[in-house]
Structure 1
Amino acid sequence: MTLAPNKGPDPPPADITRRLLALRDDVMAHWMVMARREVRGARHLPEPLLADTLPAFYDNLAKTLTPGYPRALATEHNNAASQHGGERARLTPYGPEQVIHEYQLFRAAIYEMAAVDGIALDAAQRARIEAAIDTAQREAIREFSAIHEDLRRKLAATLSHDMLSPLATIVSGAELIGLATDVTAARRTGRRILENGQRLGHMIAQLLDALTVTGVDRVPLEPSAFDIRLLMRTVCEEFSAQQVEIAIEGEPVEGWWDFAQLQRALENLVRNAVKYGDGSQVTIRSATTHGRLTLSVHNTGNPIAADRFEHIFAYLHRENVVPAEGYGIGLSFVKSVAESHGGSIVVDSSSVAGTTFLIDVPIDCRPFTGG
């Protein structure tokens, strides 16, 4: 899986890049063994969840070792690292220490497997790898912390609103008992206090489970088995009347997802690609890696600034690039659909490569949705 679309005047890959790309699966397999052995909480994670967006990061890392490649670091023009941290916050029992430990082991896996394969990395190449992994760690931890902070804010806001009613009953009941002269009435009020206290406890338990175990902003799913090419063709037909050509590329992939929700998400991405592109072809592409489906939509045109990557997924946000109808909830919905499937939405945008939005989800989402 690579986030850089196959377009743009990229230089021919250097020998070091070709060899490292060929080594990716070996590096990932070695890293998974180390992670399951050494990272607390990683042992029982399913392979698609453990792999996450690291194959994409690895591909970009290998490409930056080609002289003249338009990215100085693997983290430039994409948010794969922050999405890695986001998935770890939503879907694993990790703390920040485990996220950092994963990247440390990932670096070790690269060096160890390169040595086994006889790949000699010079000082400049090692420095580029080190800089990219250090930057990826910071971006992942920043997103990890932001999601947990968001959980705390949502929990506090919900508590302050939904808990007021039983709390008011408890307070007023206690005041009535303090004034009561009739034991029967006091007992009746006491039962109301007990019932509302139990209700309050149940509400808190439900909220804690919903916000800290199953994640935030989850879309209800009804997974079914189908070939992703069917969904891609269905979406392509929806846009057949557009003047912009919609092309389909990639391999057939049989999996378990929610057809209707994934269709809506893909339609949103294609609609944005048509709206904000330069009128050239929009490409929908499917691929698989380590038990995960990557479903991408690519267009050419003005790139999205890197400092806007996270903002464009915010609820009710809309880029003021051209006048457009809508309420700006499309990308927020796409993000929720991807996360509800146990995955992420990644954006990769530059003037050289164009813009790619990539839905990265497990091939079988049922273990992550309870479906």
Structure 2
Amino acid sequence: MTLATDQNSGARPLSGVAVALEGIRELVLDHWAMLVRRNIRGARALLTPILINTLPSFYANLVQALTPGYPRDDATSHSSAATAHGGERARMTDYGAEQLIHEYQLFQEALRDVSAAQGVAISGAEWIIIERSVYAAIREAVRAFTAIHEELRHKVAAALSHDMRTPLAVIANGAQLIEVAGDLAQARRLGQKIGANALRLDSMVDEVLDALTAPNGARLPLRLSRFDMRELIEQVRREFADRYPSALEVAAPRVTGWWCRETLRRALENLVSNAIKYGDGGAIRIELTEAHGNIVLTVHNTGNPLDEEQRGRIFDYLRRERQVQAPGWGIGLPFVKQAAESHGGSVSVDSSAATGTTFLIDVPVDCRPYVDAGSRAAPQDTPALPAAGHHPVPK
């Protein structure tokens, strides 16, 4: 599997230990999944695409960080994969921060167990890089995890202070008017208005309680259908072919799955549009890979990289980068984030001067188990796709 965290064709060759670790990647991830399911409360019920999440990207970054001279100090350098992992754990699981931390500790344990069993010798200096990468990933993942819950509290507070104020005002005013009502008919009309707004307020309380108790964030309404993702990518490529004079390259095998075609089409269009706006005019590359029941859809461009502060805020709603002339970053990328999360996945960005900028959408091949049945429309009698975790790994 060629992960899109490294789209730089001129990248340095991997070191010997990095090549050896790349060779045992699937063994490490499988062992990690077993340890997580065995030791972390709530993990056993998670389907494989949700469990694995962005760990393959983290692993690929770690392999690069272990190569001397490679432009990664650790596995989190230039990447928001750990941030995406923490955010998805907040939305898609009933984890606490303790379980999230334990996952990364078990990753280090799995790497140690499998490398020893397979005869891969890792030096003390290399273990320092691994430990530094795990600690950094924990910090970034927990920060994102807690931010999701803090955002939910802010939304609940806003609903209480703003949305509920209107029916409360109607109820209070109605009660005052009843006291001075001139006849029974007027009092009844005011009573009906008070009753209607009390019901509305009751409904709002239910929504607030749902928001407080549900692990998921806001989701887009999706219409799921079964289609070939490569055909969608080719459709987007043709849309931009006439408007973009430079090459728009595609590397995508056929992967058939269950997604919302329109939502992912809009998300991919947003990423390609941003690559055109903020790239240096060089080739833009769209790649599709599949492993562990997930697909990773990436858009890569060359040009000025995003700094650490930009990577942390680029998916914020109505956020625009002031130092660039092209309009954007305001709504398109937040939509991409919401589109990925609504499919049960996540989005991340990897950007540096050496490797360019890559946006990664990571979603399950079959999104039906992760999408609320009330927000989707798809045939229910179509046979399911093969079980997650049993897909061949592309080379």
Change (3 A) 1:234 1:211: farther
Partner of 1:68: 69
Q: What displacement does 1:210 show?
A: 4.8
Q: Contact between 1:244 and 1:274, CA under 8 Å: does it hold in 2?
A: no
Query: Partner letter of residue 264 of structure 1?
Result: R
> Quick one: distance in 2 between partners of 1:51 and 1:234?
29
Partner of 1:124: 125
> Quick one: distance in 1 between partners of 2:176 and 2:198?
15
Change (3 A) 1:116 1:326: closer
Partner of 2:335: 333
**Relative to structure 2, which stretch is displaced further, 170-179 or 49-58?**
170-179
Partner of 1:307: 309
Q: Contact between 1:57 and 1:74, CA under 8 Å: does it hold in 2?
A: yes
Q: What displacement does 1:88 show?
A: 0.6
> Quick one: distance in 2 between partners of 1:39 and 1:179?
63
Q: Contact between 1:2 and 1:60, CA under 8 Å: does it hold in 2?
A: no
Partner of 1:224: 225
> Quick one: distance in 2 between partners of 1:34 and 1:194?
55
**Relative to structure 2, which stretch is displaced further, 349-358 or 243-252?**
243-252
Seq. identity, %: 50
Q: What displacement does 1:200 show?
A: 2.3
Q: What displacement does 1:192 show?
A: 7.0
Pairing 1:347-366 to 2, within 5 Å after superposition? 347-366=349-368
Report the aligned-residue RMSD.
Answer: 2.6
Change (3 A) 1:38 1:191: farther
Query: Partner letter of residue 75 of structure 1?
Result: T
**Relative to structure 2, which stretch is displaced further, 239-248 or 317-326?**
317-326
**Relative to structure 2, which stretch is displaced further, 295-304 or 29-38?**
29-38
Helix, strand or coil: the match of 1:318? coil
Helix, strand or coil: the match of 1:145? helix
**1:346 aligned onto 2:361:** no
Query: Partner letter of residue 136 of structure 2?
Result: T
Q: Contact between 1:311 and 1:317, CA under 8 Å: does it hold in 2?
A: yes
Query: Partner letter of residue 94 of structure 2?
Result: P
Change (3 A) 1:243 1:184: closer
Q: What displacement does 1:189 show?
A: 7.9
> Quick one: distance in 2 between partners of 1:337 and 1:105?
30
> Quick one: distance in 1 between partners of 2:277 and 2:314?
15
Q: What displacement does 1:365 show?
A: 1.3
Q: What displacement does 1:237 show?
A: 0.4
Pairing 1:239-254 to 2, within 5 Å after superposition? 239-241=240-242, 242-254=244-256
Q: Contact between 2:305 and 2:352, CA under 8 Å: does it hold in 1?
A: yes
Query: Partner letter of residue 158 of structure 2?
Result: A
Partner of 1:49: 50
> Quick one: distance in 1 between partners of 2:127 and 2:351?
26
What is the aligned length?
371
> Quick one: distance in 2 between partners of 1:116 and 1:184?
85
Query: Partner letter of residue 28 of structure 1?
Result: L
**1:21 aligned onto 2:22:** yes
Deviations 1:80-113 (A, max 9, x none): 0011000011111111111111111111111111
> Quick one: distance in 2 between partners of 1:55 and 1:4?
10
Change (3 A) 1:243 1:208: farther
Change (3 A) 1:68 1:80: same
> Quick one: distance in 1 between partners of 2:160 and 2:14?
54
> Quick one: distance in 2 between partners of 1:51 and 1:285?
20
> Quick one: distance in 2 between partners of 1:92 and 1:321?
38
> Quick one: distance in 2 between partners of 1:10 and 1:121?
22
> Quick one: distance in 2 between partners of 1:225 and 1:128?
42
Q: Contact between 1:249 and 1:284, CA under 8 Å: does it hold in 2?
A: yes
> Quick one: distance in 2 between partners of 1:8 and 1:359?
21
With normalisation by structure 1, the TM-score equals 0.92
Query: Partner letter of residue 164 of structure 1?
Result: R
Deviations 1:206-240 (A, max 9, x none): 23425752633422110111111111100000111
Gaps of 5+ in 1: none
Deviations 1:238-266 (A, max 9, x none): 11111121010032111111111111110
> Quick one: distance in 1 between partners of 2:64 and 2:72?
8
Change (3 A) 1:282 1:316: same
Pairing 1:129-148 to 2, within 5 Å after superposition? 129-148=130-149
**1:109 aligned onto 2:110:** yes
> Quick one: distance in 1 between partners of 2:176 and 2:142?
48
> Quick one: distance in 1 between partners of 2:341 and 2:249?
26
Deviations 1:268-326 (A, max 9, x none): 11111112111111000000121111000011111111221122211222223542245
Query: Partner letter of residue 283 of structure 2?
Result: Q
Query: Partner letter of residue 274 of structure 2?
Result: N
Change (3 A) 1:313 1:172: same
> Quick one: distance in 1 between partners of 2:336 and 2:84?
14
Query: Partner letter of residue 78 of structure 1?
Result: S
> Quick one: distance in 2 between partners of 1:159 and 1:215?
20
Helix, strand or coil: the match of 1:230? helix
Gaps of 5+ in 2: 377-395
Helix, strand or coil: the match of 2:314? helix
Partner of 1:317: 319
Partner of 1:278: 280
Q: Contact between 1:10 and 1:70, CA under 8 Å: does it hold in 2?
A: no
Partner of 1:256: 258
> Quick one: distance in 2 between partners of 1:357 and 1:51?
19
Q: What displacement does 1:336 show?
A: 1.1
